[in-house]
Amino acid sequence: MTIIHPFPPTLAYSPYLDELYRVLEPHFTIDRRSPRRAIPALLFGRGGRILHLHFFDEVVQRPTKFITWMRYVTWIMLLMLLRWRGVTIVWTVHNATPHECLHPDIARRTTQHVLNQCHAVTAHHHATRTLLLEQYHTTTPISVIPHGHSEHPFGVLPPHQSARQQLGLTLDVPLLLYLGMIRRYKGIETLIDAMELLPHAHLVIAGHAADTVYLSEIHQHTARRINVTIRPRFLPDHEAAQYLAACDLLVLPYRSITTSGMVVAAQAAGIVCVVPNLPPLLEQVRDGVTGFVFHADNSNSLIQTIERALANPNRSQIGSAAQRSLANHTWAQVGQQFITLFTQLTSQP
C-alpha cells in the first residue's frame, strides 16, 4: 500500500490534517512520524511513497538572510534527492508565500523550486492556481481541491443569548467577532480603528497570539477603545463555538490570504462573515448572498460594510446560504479528490 508522509505531520491550531487523513486512511498508509524519522523512511523505502507538503515556512525562514539562504538550498536539495529516490512529491498550497515574509527574494526562489520539484500541486481556489501559473510559469499540474469542512466544525453551537451569558458578554449591542490566530497579516488594526466610528457595536478579538510584539501593539491600539475586548489565548472547540454563537458577524480584515479555514468553518456553522475583496475570498463569499465583502485594508469600506450587514434583515438566510454553498466541500468529497489524485500519481510508470 502506498505510504503518505504529511509535512508537517501535525498542525497545532488546525484540524485540517486530522480531517483529511482520516478520510484517506482506508486507502493509504499514513505515516505521521516526525520528519527526523520520516525522511529516512522516504529516502530508503521501497514501493509507493508520497511526500505531501503543506507548510514549510518554518523550515526555511530564519531572521538572518545567510541562515535562511543555507536552509533554502538544503531544503531544495533534499526535495531533489527524494524525487531522485522515487518519492512522489505533492504540495497543497495553504500559503503561496510566508505570512510574515522575512526575505521575499528567498521566499520567491523557494516557491519556484518547490513547484519545480513537485509531481503535482493542489490549491484551494482557482485564484491561487492562476497566481502560481502567472507568477512562476510552472509546468507542474495544479488541481483545485477546495478546503474541506465538517458539519459542526466546533461542535453544535449553543443558543445565541446563552453563549453570550456563558462568555460574560451580556451587552445588548451588536457583537462583532474576530476569531483566529492573532497575526500581523490579518489586519486587525484596521478593524480596531473602525470601531471608533461604530460606537453602537462591540468587538471581541479572540485567539492565540503568534507574535507577542504584535499583541502588544494591538493592546496599545485598543487602550482607549471601550467597545473592544481582547481575549488572546488558544480556544478549545467548545469555546470557539460559544464565541461564534454569541456574535452577530464574524469580521476577518485580512490584508493578504491564500486560503481561510476560518471562513470555511464559520460558513459551515451558518455564521455570516465580513471579508475583504481578496481573490481567494471572493470564491468563498458572495457579497449580500453568502456574506459581505469590503475593499481590503480600507477602514471606510469596512465600516460601511459592517453597518450594511447589521442593517440587513435577512442575515439568518445569508448564513444558511453560506452553509449550502459548501454542500460539495465535505471532507468525504474533498478526500475522494485527493484519493483520485494520489492513485493516479502512484499508478504512473
Give pLDDT tens digits for 75-113: 999 999 999 999 999 999 999 988 888 999 999 999 999
Domain that residue 180 falls in: 160-325
Q: Are residues 251 and 293 in the same domain?
A: yes
Q: Are residues 121 and 250 in the same domain?
A: no
Strands 88-93 and 142-144, how do they pair?
unpaired
For the chain of 349 residues, list the mean pLDDT of each consecutive stretch of 10.
Answer: 96 93 97 96 95 94 94 97 98 92 94 98 98 96 97 92 90 93 93 94 94 91 88 94 97 95 96 98 97 95 98 96 96 98 89
Query: Which CATH number fits the domain that encloses residue 90?
Result: 3.40.50.2000
Note whether residue 295 is domain-resident.
Answer: yes
Of 150, 124, 131, 132, residue with least CA distance to 281: 124
- Note the pTM of the prediction, 2 decimals: 0.94
pLDDT digit string (tens) for 5-61?
Answer: 999 999 988 999 999 999 999 999 999 999 999 999 999 999 999 999 999 988 899
Quote the pLDDT of residue 221: 84
Note whether residue 153 is domain-resident.
Answer: no
Spatial distance between the Cα atoms of 154 and 236, rounded to a whole number of angstroms: 9
Q: Are residues 196 and 220 in the same domain?
A: yes
Quote the pLDDT of residue 246: 96
Quote the pLDDT of residue 349: 64
Note whether residue 249 is domain-resident.
Answer: yes
**Cell numbers of 218, please?**
494591538
Of 280, 292, 284, residue with least CA distance to 323: 284
Ramachandran angles phi, psi of 55, nearest 5°? -130, 135
Note whether residue 32 is domain-resident.
Answer: yes
Q: Are residues 106 and 25 in the same domain?
A: yes
Spatial distance between the Cα atoms of 87 and 258, rounded to a whole number of angstroms: 27
Query: Hey, which residues does 153 pair with through a beta bridge?
Result: 155
Q: Are residues 289 and 184 in the same domain?
A: yes
Note whether residue 133 is domain-resident.
Answer: yes
Note whether residue 155 is domain-resident.
Answer: no
Q: Is the separation of the CB atoms in 305 and 274 below 8 Å? A: yes
Note whether residue 154 is domain-resident.
Answer: no
Quote the pLDDT of residue 107: 95
Quote the pLDDT of residue 328: 93
